[in-house]
Amino acid sequence: MLMTKEAVRPLLEVSGLSVSFTQYTGGLRQKTIQAIVDLSVSVRPGEMLAIVGGSGSGKSLLAHAILGILPGNACVDGRMIYAGEHLTPVRQATLRGREIALIPQSVNFLDPLMRVGAQVRSSSLNGNGAAVQREIFSRYHLAAGTEQLFPFQLSGGMARRVLVATAAAGNARLIIADEPTPGLHSAIVRETLAHLRELSTAGRAVMLITHDITAALETADRIAVFYAGSTVETAPVSDFCGEGELLRHPYSKALWRALPQNGFRPLSGSQPSVDDLPQGCLFAPRCPFASPDCAAVQPELRPLRGGETRCHHAA
């Protein structure tokens, strides 16, 4: 199973992506704020990739960067290849909503004054919008009257289903799901994950951005671990087992061991602010294996045992 998936060419390949924002601080003094430093991920059709990282690691911005909907003061660098071609702003504009769909964090991303049915219809651009929308609503067990409701009338679970339906309604080949806002009932989260799994099984490429590693492990095929604006490891889900000896990066191992079922051994310290990054390896200040050259030279992301890692000493 895994082999056949490996054989398929990635639908989206992001490498060396960086995002920064220019801000004017009083008068004409400019300030650049780094948000994503060096991010590389890829996702294949039929695959579900989870991108896991602490809050403030710039995860949501990845989705916006892929869709090309970052604010005007954002500066994007790096390479994004979609279906074998560069993802230029012009291409992004034609693809978003058609080939690439977003599942946003919360119901606040729906227009508060517009009935939800009409909003879903906007994403199914081809064919009979109303019919497609009704079909998709019934597939997600949304009662017939739901399309007439306004976002504020939806319950948490209904809102989640409407948001997923919005992405599923079109023929998008790539679906990017931003993590649901925390505090949502766990049953609802599980249901959403199951829906995402279904979509990937049906041949779509699904990218789930989340801080909830347990949820990611339950549903995804591969995990990309995100630390201080960079990817530090990508690994198949099966590598997250035992004491984490199959994992390639000290941070992923630490994440794994910090889970309650694995002894709940949290890592001390906190992620460096993306504004004030250490010189060499970003993880060096907290890494138990750090050697002097770690703090001097930043490791590159390199392939290792069917995954990738950004660590000098990983083997």
User: Interface residues with other proteins (CB under 8 A)?
Assistant: 64, 67, 69, 72, 93, 96-98, 101-102, 104, 106, 108-114, 122-123, 125, 143, 145, 149-150, 152-153, 166
Assess 299 for contact with ligand SF4 (CB under 6 A): yes
Per the listing, tokens 């909503």 go with: 97
Judged by CB under 6 A, the chain residues 225 through 284 that form the site for ligand SF4 are 250, 281, 283-284
Residue in 159, 237, 166 with CA at minimum distance from that of residue 191: 159
Distant-in-sequence, close-in-space partners of 207: CB < 8 Å, separation ≥ 6: 12, 41, 43, 48, 49, 50, 51, 63, 174, 175, 176, 177
Is the distance from CB of 1 to CB of 49 less than 8 angstroms?
no
**Those residues with Cβ within 8 angstroms of residue 276's Cβ, 6 or more apart along the chain or in another chain:** none
Helix H segments across the chain? 2-7, 59-67, 89-95, 116-121, 129-139, 156-169, 186-201, 213-219, 250-258, 292-296
Residues paired with residue 222 on neighbouring β-strands, in sequence order = 49, 236
**By CB under 6 A, which span of 81-89, 100-108, 118-126, 289-297 interacts with ligand SF4?**
289-297
Q: Which is nearer to ligand SF4, 180 or 307 (CB)?
A: 307
* Closest distance to ligand SF4 from the beta carbon of 135 (Å): 49
Residue 297 binding partner per list other proteins, ligand SF4, none, with a CB distance cut-off of 5 to 8 Å that depends on partner kind = none
CB of 211 to other proteins, least distance (A): 19
24 binds, among ligand SF4, other proteins, none (CB under 5 to 8 A by kind): none
Contact with ligand SF4 (CB under 6 A): which of 80, 225, 235, 294? 294
Q: Which residues bind ligand SF4 (CB under 6 A)?
A: 250, 281, 283-284, 287, 289-290, 294, 299, 311-313
